[in-house]
Amino acid sequence: MDLICFTHINWNFVYQRPQHLLTRFAHYYRVFVIEEPLYNGPENFYEFTHEAENNIWLVTLHISKETPTSEISNTLKALIDSLINSMNIKQYLLWYYTPMALIYSDHLKPEIIVYDCMDELSAFKFAPPKIKEIEAKLLLRADVVFTGGYSLYEAKKHLHHNIHAFPSSIDKKHFMVARKPQKDPADQFNIPYPRIGFYGVLDERLDIQLLESMALSRPHWHFILIGPIIKIDADTLPKRDNIHYLGPKKYNELPGYLAGWDIAMLPFALNESTKYISPTKTPEYLAGGKPVISTSIKDVVTPYGQKGLVHIADTCEEFINAAEIIFKGNDKDKWLHKVDEFLENISWNLTWHQMSALIDEALQSKLLPNKNKIKSLV
C-alpha cells in the first residue's frame, strides 16, 4: 500500500501537522506528497525529489502557460496517471488536505480515501470560490474524515458518518529543550528583556491592532515575531522599536528562540479565518515551559484556558494585566506541574496510532465483502 497526499501547503514552507503525520506513515510505505500545481512551465510535466531520510516523495506538477483552461484538469490527470505508472503504484490510499485537488484526482481508484480537514480553508483569505462545493463532493467520497480541532469537528460532524476530531498535538522532546538555559540565537541576542514572542505564519489571522496597542502601551516590553509574511502587505505590520520581526526559521531552530522568551503569545484576531483554528503552537509553547497568553480562540479556551494552563485576553488591557501577573512569578512550579500532567497523554505518535487504527477499520469495513482483504496499513 502506498499513500498519495494532495496538499495546499508547500512541504518545505512550515513544519506542521502534515509533516508530523506523513513522516510517521512513511516508516511503513512510500508517501507521495503532491503539492498544488504550478502554471509556469514551457510544457506539461511533473518532477519529484526523494527525501530518503523520511521516505517522502515530493511531487510538483507543472502546467504550460499555453494550456487552455478547459484542458488543465485533464492535463493534470494525465500527469498523475503517468506518475502512478512510472512509480509502479498499484494499491494506494488517497489523503487530502485540500478539496481542490479532487478536480484532477476524481478519476483515481484508491483502496480508501482520507480527508484530513486541518482548517476551514473556505474562511481563509483568497480561498477558491468553489471550495465549499468541491469539499462537499470530497466528503461524499471519503471513507474517513479527521478534523484539526474540536470546534471544526462540531461544525462538520453532521456532514460525514465517520468523522473524528484530532486537535493539535506535540513533539514534547523537541520543544522541552527550551526549558534548558542556552545561548540566544544571534538575531535575538541583543533584544532587551522582558520578551514576549510568537512564531507562526504572519497573515490575516494576526491581530495587528492588538499587537501595536500593546507595544505602545508598554514601550519597555519587547515583542518578537518569527515566521513568514503571506497574504498581507508587510507594510501594514506595525513598526515600533520594541517590535522585532525575525523572519521564518526552521523547525529545529524554534526551541532555541522560545527558550529566550519570558512569555509566548497567540495574538490572533477573532474573525472568520480563526473561527475553527487549533494552533499547534499552544502545546509547543507549554512544552517549552513558557507561560502563554492567547486571544479567545475556541480551541485554546477549551481546554487550555479552562484548565488554567493559558491566560485568555482579547484587549490590550487584558493582555497587559495577564502579562504582569505572569511577571510576578507566583506559583510557576505548580502551574508547570499542571502543564506536564496535561501534556503527558498528548503526542504526534499517539495521534498517528489512533488515526491508523481508524483507517484500518474503515478499510476492513469497505473490503468486508471481498475475500481478498488487504492487510492493515501498519
What would the pLDDT profile of 223-271 be if each residue is shown by its tens digit?
A: 999 999 999 999 999 999 999 999 999 999 999 999 999 999 999 999 9
Task: Calculate the alpha carbon distances from 257 to 62, 184, 186, 323 in Å.
Answer: 37, 7, 10, 19
| 301-356 pLDDT tens trace | 999 999 999 999 999 999 999 999 999 987 889 999 999 999 999 999 999 999 99
What mean pLDDT is predicted for residues 278-282? 95
Distance of alpha carbon 377 from alpha carbon 358, whole angstroms: 11
Q: Are residues 44 and 134 in contact, defined by beta-carbon separation less than 8 angstroms?
A: no
| 220-229 pLDDT tens trace | 999 999 999 9
Question: Rounded mean pLDDT of the chain?
Answer: 94
Pairing of strands 2-6, 92-96: parallel
Distance of alpha carbon 48 from alpha carbon 58, whole angstroms: 5
Pairing of strands 292-294, 311-312: parallel
pLDDT at 124: 87
Evaluated on CA atoms 167, 173, 174, 177, the torsion sign reads: positive
